[in-house]
Amino acid sequence: MRDELERVLKTISRPAIAVSGGVDSMTLAVLASRLLPDVRVLHAASPAVPVEATLRVERYAQVHGWALDIIDAGEFDDPAYRANPANRCFYCKSNLYTTIRSRTDRTILSGANLDDLREYRPGLDAARRHGVRHPYVEAGLTKQHVRAVARALGLHTVAELPASPCLSSRVETGIRIEASTLAFIHEVETLVSRTLSPATVRCRVRAAAVVIELDPATLALLSPERRRQLADEIDARQIGARSLRLEGLPIAFAEYRNGSAFLVEHA
């Protein structure tokens, strides 16, 4: 598993690794920087990226000696991205890879793994158009394999990071992406995580409500009284978000469903 991944990486002489701050790209960057003499790491800072992810990338860059560039991929200047169609990720990744390509002629690498190929991932279409390579896919690694590689590299904190797609993935298809909405989503998820310590939490902004999705075990333990208390705390943050989209939306709780903000598949 790791041997095959290392073999793939050694075929790439001058990689430019797009690092989001999650387990996949962080593990890839650490391993590549240990194997190869000339690795460049690029991280896109954006309202859609939690600040914790950016700080994590910067911290690891210092520890591991990465040549790191923090970039603005410019997706918030793209009307197609801001319109939030079902294939929004295509526009996000198109902006990212276009920006990276404008800065380097290196081979661009992503942290996509085999599990990603089984889901609706329009960003992979953008990757194909830009000649991006996916070493985990080439080496036959799943998410579980990636976490095992992270542990073997001593990256125990990274190995246990929960899956966390960009904040825009919480906004229902067709609702315009606004920085203030994403800030609200991040604040709510931070509040709920601190209060309940759930295995999974997503704050979905929908046309009819703000829905807090939780793993089944956490949701089952949430009493009606606690729901009301949390809803009041979230509503206070909703008012402070200064987003017309959020004004007056009720707060609801539901069981977590992967990708539930997408209303149309394979658009």
Q: 149 and 242: one domain?
A: no
Query: Is 82 a member of any domain?
Result: yes
Query: Is 265 a member of any domain?
Result: no
Which has the higher per-residue pLDDT, 3 or 246? 3
Cβ atoms of residues 185 and 261 within 8 Å:
no
Q: Tokens standing for 160?
A: 């246990």
Per-residue pLDDT tens over the stretch 24-50: 999 999 999 999 999 999 999 999 999
Which has the higher per-residue pLDDT, 127 or 118? 127
Average pLDDT over residues 86-111: 97
Show which of 138, 159, 180 is a domain's final residue.
Answer: 159
d(CA 53, CA 47): 12
| 73-102 per-residue burial string, b: 16 or more CB within 10 A, e: under 16 | bebbebeebeebbbbbbbbbbbbbbebbee
Q: 140 and 199: one domain?
A: no
Per-residue pLDDT tens over the stretch 181-225: 999 999 999 999 999 999 999 999 999 999 999 999 999 999 999
Helix (H) or strand (E) holding 108: strand 107-109
Q: 35 and 123: one domain?
A: yes
Q: Tokens standing for 184?
A: 């609200």
Average pLDDT over residues 113-133: 94
Q: 185 and 224: one domain?
A: yes
Using the predicted structure, report yes or no on whether residue 107 has a pLDDT greater than 80.
Answer: yes
| 244-264 per-residue burial string, b: 16 or more CB within 10 A, e: under 16 | ebbeebebebeebeeebbbee
Q: 75 and 189: one domain?
A: no
pLDDT bracket for residue 174 (50, 70, 90) = very high
Q: Residue 81's domain spans which residues? A: 2-159
User: E strands within 130-265?
Assistant: 201-205, 210-214, 251-255
Per-residue pLDDT tens over the stretch 155-168: 999 999 988 889 99
Q: What is the pLDDT of residue 266?
A: 41
Neighbouring C-beta atoms of residue 225, cutoff 10 Å: 8
Per-residue pLDDT tens over the stretch 248-266: 789 999 999 998 998 864 4
Q: What is the pLDDT of residue 47?
A: 96
d(CA 255, CA 4): 38
Query: Is 134 a member of any domain?
Result: yes
Q: What is the pLDDT of residue 249?
A: 87
Q: 129 and 207: one domain?
A: no
The count of domains in the chain is 2
Using the predicted structure, report yes or no on whether residue 244 has a pLDDT greater than 60.
Answer: no
Q: What is the pLDDT of residue 240?
A: 63
Q: 132 and 189: one domain?
A: no
Overall residue count recorded for the chain in this entry: 267
Average pLDDT over residues 60-70: 96
Show which of 104, 136, 159 is a domain's final residue.
Answer: 159
pLDDT bracket for residue 239 (50, 70, 90) = low
Q: What is the pLDDT of residue 267?
A: 39
Q: 188 and 120: one domain?
A: no
The mean pLDDT value of the chain amounts to 93
